[in-house]
Amino acid sequence: MKASSFLLILLMVISAGLAACSQSGEKKEDAAAESTSAVKEAEEKVEEAESDVVKKTEELHQEQLSELEKKSPEEVAKELWNLINTEEYKVNWKQHKPEGATAETPVTYLNPTAEEALRNRVTPLPPGSIIVEEDYNESQEIETINAVINLGGEKPEGGWFYAQYSPDGKILKSEEKGASINAPE
């Protein structure tokens, strides 16, 4: 009798253990499903946030371009000089040499907007595109720095602004450049 009681108790303990394991497995599956759902929800929130950042950046850029259009050529030229130097064009922008360039060809830099358009062969270059060209004298010292920016505006092809600077940033020329500048070759 003792042996059968012991076996009965042992069977009950094993059954209870299996039932607990089964419930634990269900809880693990539920927890895994909840975790997967939380990860997907977090990924959706990140994608939404990234989309919002891009949209807000584009809106801010358009506001800045609109504000620049309202300023005098001298004010725009000062802001353009500050912009190209703040962004450290020589360090952070892509240097561009057209096919067939020689030692006398000016050194040209493209901001990321202009560089991407050039890579994708988009013409005319989109609003926000900036091209900086350094002209050197015979002694290989910078003589002038020329910069153009597409301010966009009401013209579908953009409103280009041109400024020429001395190496120390003094404005030598500043003017509306025209309706369109195509991507450099």
3-class SS of residue 7: helix
* % pLDDT > 90, the chain: 30
pLDDT of the residue at 184: 41
pLDDT of the residue at 138: 85
Q: Is 3 exposed, middle or buried (0-12, 13-18, 19+ CB in 10 A)?
A: exposed
pLDDT of the residue at 183: 40
Tokens of 54: 């891009």
Q: Among positive and negative, which fits the CA dihedral 119, 120, 123, 126? A: negative
Question: Which residues make Cβ contacts (< 8 Å) with residue 65, sequence separation at least 6?
Answer: 127, 128, 151, 152, 153
The residue count for the chain: 185
Mean pLDDT of 130-148: 91
